[in-house]
Structure 1
């Protein structure tokens, strides 16, 4: 979804007759933007702006890069500059609207989306964001009008029904909201938002088993949403499944380590099962986040007393009593702790305070007050296990925390569309491998990819950094961008002095690749091969760079009909013939180094792109034969089997991929398991 949005925006017509150098820099900048190397792309757009400040394009695309770096103020300023130079670029209003939303400038965002909708009245993304702006302003009538138009345009758009359900909830119409959530699930049973939205209503209705069932589906379909596990823990807690609730809090905190509710509630449950020391750790974390959270401090005091840290307990009790001087339980527990450490006078003072407070309470409680208290108790009978997060009544220190209504309602709301962080609901294959200096760290998969030839190449110290074999590229930082631009100059000087040095050509080709200059990178790789046709890394990287060029071009072709703008020229379609050079380079790699497993894997990916699935499976087989723990090969072979209709074989491979660390495999297994039953 994210790449499609960016690509759609990349396809706005070029209305300028720029010089060749400017066009080339813009092309490189767009490549960097497409491949999510935002810092680098900004450097290139800066060059164009310095050369030709009257152009709208570099401002617009730089704003797009900034919004993906969460620089909302900068993105808005760049969109202002783009609109001043060309007020007919609809994408600029869309991006500025999103930047304004992130700064809570909803009126300005509404103006932007309305302006864009005038030109693109059937753009679902624009209507989606406009609706959410009206919801934020609590203008529910306008939100309902927006949704009516959105559903008329896209009657199968599940998010519209979820938003309409949210609007109903804002207006306390639970029945209508539930109808919309039911409809969303019926339309798209693979939407985790639909299941989690309905689950929250069931939680509010006290239908805990039904809520747990819905959240089972939500967690299967989206394993990275901490809120779903928090909510399922609540459903399990109400069914007295404390172990299951704690397991859910564990998962939620793995996903979102700073989640307040997760730590507080897990601390309470750990205390209930006697895991006092780890319970203290949870409350320590809560207090670190909220140093004035008296309930957490009091709970920690109780646990410290339980574990023998009486002086620590007294300190916590005193902190709470200073804040709440009429808190009876504070004096009672401090008296007990003081007596145990031999502080008889202190204990007696606390005990006297407890006795006085009890007498005052007994004498002040009239018959009328008793009746009022009874009514209140009956009314809240079902809620006596939980409290709202904003509840500051110290008597509720031992209750499980639930989100306030305003926070709970956010669970129903879809994200604003248009950012690269939007969830990609499409099933995608694992990417190709390459040789690079920078690898993105993974908390789940920590495989070290090794090949003796590459290790020997690193030992020669010809290259400026250690070369990694990876399919998880890391975008360059600003410092790294400057470093590799400087290296290009250095290598150029060296090549002039030693024009026959193949390794230096290869080294410069990597620098060109890292700064997204694919044309010069391919030229250097070709020269490397001409100088040494046995150097297989050059063939391997040339195949990768060419494939990236084709991927970018093909994506533009696929989206050319979706952009509401007049294109000055028809871009040539990417054909199977264009991939022949890619396959030819990988054939050379395999011929030169038959045990280089990544060449088989990459060639399989290319064949899969061309829908030659059986040939792709043959190459994945070879890759797995060389490396039985090749997670990505299992994952992609599994998807390829599914594309051929062999769901059972595909699920077996996906299961192995999940076992080896690719967590997204389990979500896909869930989707296709039902089709095999």
Structure 2
């Protein structure tokens, strides 16, 4: 290579080493022009020539070095062009690709920069500056996880490179302020000096919610530079957090004095005035902040919150809309706007907002893009938003949508007892009691875990109530008893006592029902149901007269209640006061002509009063209403039998047996009717069917015995009478039949003994008195006959 070219190259290097980049650029430009044939160079009167190999090498060096010069002169576009050409000469040059990446970075061509740094690292995976530079690209692309990974690799490769620690600290301020403080300290230990590090350390402590420490570092920053306006409003915000509102106000006003165009200072001023309950001044400060920087979302958000608290929902919505327009991923703004829309009855739009809040919360949380306080707030706010939405949907009977919202709330807060508690009631409204119980159990579990006695007691009460709806009355009653014993001061005692009584009623535990109604009456004196239930209990305990007293008290509260009238009728019926009972049933039927049970019981009363035709009319009316109850047909059969209409009676009983094929009573009555019709063989058939279902009924044995006796089967008849008397030994009809059989079998001695037994039960029994002497004569005659034979 010619000496002149060497001299020019050396001169360019000298300029470069001395940071005389403009002069270096001139020399390198001349060399590039020469190599490209645009100019000629001569030395000692001779034109200089260069071979192709030297030309390529010279061009590479010249473009590479000129790119560096122009980069250092902030001529990034020209530097980029030179670096691009240089790369074509040497596509494996690590430093060129790193320079290419830096040029793109400075020109905000971030994707191109990223490609260049990727290539640099591919060529040399140990080149720490490439990782550092790529990290800065990732930071601007909001890919903090990748940035932090690259910074860590950079630090691992060059542990003394303090600027990497400083950069990582700033990147970590919002996501890991504790580590940021460690990195700031490390950069200082390695020799990094900057007064602004105090400011950033203050920010780190603020994000850690160590407000006193933050104040300390912002104070150090102010001591270094008393004109640093941002440090004043940041210190003001932290003083506000420790309730030093006057100090905060002074600092904030100082910040505004130093920089009256600082929108953030007015934002903090608005918060301070709000805390001082100077709401109008607060609103003015927020509006001034918005005026100074229309692209700042936080004052719009803060103003919206103030307006929401003032219940100016229309204006609040306007500013929440503006907030979200400025910051599309602001999760808390969507939650608050959703709540605002709920108050404006814009439910469908609110649902969309809560879904977007959840979406952005997840996305930002995955990027570690929240301060600890922001994260803590959203960890509660997102599930609470869905919970609040669910409640609003529940209130307007949109059950499916409410369930979806509750499910979303639980996605973000698995142990959310309020959700389980309310969802349990919703599912109860849908009569999905098993699912409701599962939710209620979880509410109990998590309220207990929270040591929230009031809510825990409420959830126990709810669980008992749901169990009662599942007909698990004993469990529910036991739980109510425990509530009354342990949490009396935390429950709605009137409600719990009432529900406990209800469980006892459903369990037909009548003695407990009376006791529980008595207890409930002490706190709820005029409760109709308590009197009514207590009347039912007393009726079922055969305390009919007391039951009537309670039912009369119930009817004083609700004189038209058919249930109370009906039970009052049952009481009179059991007391054989059939006329009074009929009056009760009349009153029920007068207000409800479709009350089949009242027709049924009125028919029974009239039958007992031997008003058979009226009774038949009532039972027919009953069967017009409901004709598939066996008991009703049996009653009709009985009435017809008293009217002597045995064939119709039998058909009615048969209908009953078809409806209730396992009913003993149906077959017994069919047999009895056949007895009256003197169709003894058919009678035995039905009586046997009855006995197969229940052989403990003495009258069935009796009727069968009568049939057998009438058919002349005295031995079997005798056995049936014996079976009857084993059940009820005082059955005088059975004793009469037994005597008759023994007489037919010429067992006069046994017949006579049986007659004596009959007279013990009925001293004036005509049959016994009449036949006693006849049996004695027959026995003497029989004994004489046998004496003659033996003698």
- Whether TM-score is above 0.5 comes out as no
TM-score, normalised to structure 2, is 0.36
Judging by fraction of residues, say which structure has more helix. 2
- Answer with 1 or 2: which has the greater Rg: 2
Structure with bigger RCO (C-alpha 8 Å, 6+ apart): 1
TM-score, normalised to structure 1, is 0.42
